[in-house]
Structure 1
Amino acid sequence: MRNYKPKDFAELLGVSVKRLQRWDREGILKANRAPTDRRYYTYDQYLQFKGIHTEEDERQVVLYARVSTRNQKDDLQNQTAFLRQYCNAKGMIVGQCIEEYGSGLNYNRPKWNRLLDDVMEQKVKTIVITHKDRFIRFGYEWFEKFCMKFHTTIIVVNNESLSPQEELVQDIISILHVFSCRLYGLRKYKKQIERDEEIAEELQDGN
C-alpha cells in the first residue's frame, strides 16, 4: 500500500500541513516514522480517518488491462492472466475484469470512462493494473488522487514487460503529428495574414 509524505497526505485530506503537524502532536492523527525519522502516512490511515471500515467494504476489485490495437490481443490476455494470478496470490476476490483496446492518450475510452463512473458511484474498492501507462499514458498521478477522493485504491503491479514499448513510440509519434499539424496551420495562417496585408497595401497605393 502506498505511503504519503505529509504534504501529499495533507492535500489528500484537504487540510494544511500545519494542521496535520498539530494533529500529530495532539495524537489525533499520528504520523508514522521511517528509520530516517521522516514522517509518513498510509492509505489505511486515510480510510480510518474518513471512518471507512475496510472489513465491511463490499465494493468490487476491478482488473483493468489495455493495449492500443487488436493486433496486441496476446499482450492483452497476458496482462489479464498476470493480474488474476496476482490477485489470487494476495487472496483478493476479483469482481470484474475489464479488457480494452485504445491508446493511452485517448481520454474517451468507453470502458475506462465507465470505470471512472463506477468509482464516482462508490462501486469500486480497488483497481489493479500491471503498469501506470496501462491506465493512462500521462497524468496518472491526477487520476490516482481522483480515485482516492472516492476511496478507491489503484494497485500498480509494475510489470514492465507488460507495458509494450512500441506503444510508447506510437504515442510519441501521435503527439508529434498533432503539434506538426498545428505548426503547419500557424505557418499557413501567418502567410495568409501577410498576403492580406500586401493586398491591403496595394489597394491603398492604388487609391
Structure 2
Amino acid sequence: MEYYTINKFAKIIGVTPQTLRNWDRNGKLHPHHTSSNGYRYYSEDQLNAVTGIQLAPKKIIGYCRVSSPKQKDDLERQVENLRTYLYAQGQPFEIITDIGSGINYKKKGLQDLIRRIESNQAEKVVILYKDRLLRFGFELIETIAAIHGCKIEIVDTTQKSEPEELVEDLVQIITEFSCKLQGKRAHKAKRMIQELVGFDSDDKVKQDTAAPEQQAED
C-alpha cells in the first residue's frame, strides 16, 4: 500500500496541510500513522475514502528501446522477449517502446514512462537490460520510481566488466555528438544552398530587367 505525506495528500484532495492538521486535532481525519519524527502519513485507502473514488490499479509496464529506426528488428525481438517474460508472471501489463539514444532524456516513450510513474500508475517497470532504460542516469529514474512506490526490474542482470562498459559509453557519446555535428552541417549546407539560389534568382531578375535597355541601345 502506498502512503502519502501531508503535503502530497493535501494537494491531491484539494485542501491545505493546515486543514489536515485541524482535522487530525478535531477527530475528523487522523493520519494512518505518524513517524518517530512527527511526520503524518496518509494511506491509499484513506485517499479513496476521502475522494470517494477508487483509483485505477497500478500496472506493470515493460520498456523497450533501440537507438535508431534501423534497429526496428531488434526492437521487435525485445518486445517479444519481454512479453513472454511478463506473460509468465500472470499479471496485466503493457509495453512502451522507444527509439532514440540512451543519453537522450527527451524521448517520447521515456517521458511517458516517467509521467506514469509520477502519477502512481506504475507498480513495476520491467526492462531486459539496464542500459535499455538509459545509458546514464538509471539511478535517477530508479530513485524517482522508489519515491512513488514503483520498482524497476532488470531481467538480464549479467554484469559487464568496467572496460566493456567504458567502451560502450564512449561509443554512445561519440555517436550522439556525431549525429548533432552532422545535423549542424546539414543545416549549414541547406542555408548556403538557399542563399545561392536566392543570389542566382536576383541575378536573373537583374539580367532580365537590363535586357530591354541593352536591346534599345543596340
When normalised by structure 2's length, the TM-score is 0.50
Residues 112-139 of structure 1: CA deviation (Å, up to 9, x unaligned): 1121011111111111101111001012
Trace 1:109-124 onto structure 2 (pairs within 5 A).
109-124=107-122
When normalised by structure 1's length, the TM-score is 0.52
- Corresponding position: 1:89 with 2:88: yes
Return the letter of the residue paired with 2:155.
Answer: V
Residues 17-51 of structure 1: CA deviation (Å, up to 9, x unaligned): xxxxxxxxxxx9xxxxxxxxxxxxxxxxxxxx996
Task: Report the structure number with the largest CA radius of gyration.
Answer: 2
Alignment check: 8 A CA contact 1:57 1:125 kept: no
Paired residue for 2:38? none
Aligned identity (percent) is 30
| Count of equivalent residues | 126
In the TM superposition, residue 110 of structure 1 has moved relative to its aligned partner by: 1.4
Residues 162-204 of structure 1: CA deviation (Å, up to 9, x unaligned): xxx99756413146769x9xxxxxxxxxxxxxxxxxxxxxxxx
2: CA distance between counterparts of 1:112 and 1:58?
A: 21
Paired residue for 2:67? 68
Return the letter of the residue paired with 1:119.
Answer: I
* Residues 1:97 and 1:127: Cα distance change in structure 2 (over 3 Å): same
Paired residue for 2:172? 171
Paired residue for 1:6? none
2: CA distance between counterparts of 1:175 and 1:109?
A: 14
Q: Name the SS for the 2:102 alignment partner.
A: coil
Return the letter of the residue paired with 2:97.
Answer: E
Alignment check: 8 A CA contact 1:132 1:156 kept: yes
Q: Name the SS for the 2:106 alignment partner.
A: coil
* Residues 1:91 and 1:146: Cα distance change in structure 2 (over 3 Å): same
Compare relative contact order (CA 8 Å, sep 6+) and give the higher one, 1 or 2.
Answer: 1
Segments of structure 1 that go 5 or more residues without pairing to the other structure are: 1-27, 29-48, 181-207
2: CA distance between counterparts of 1:101 and 1:124?
A: 21
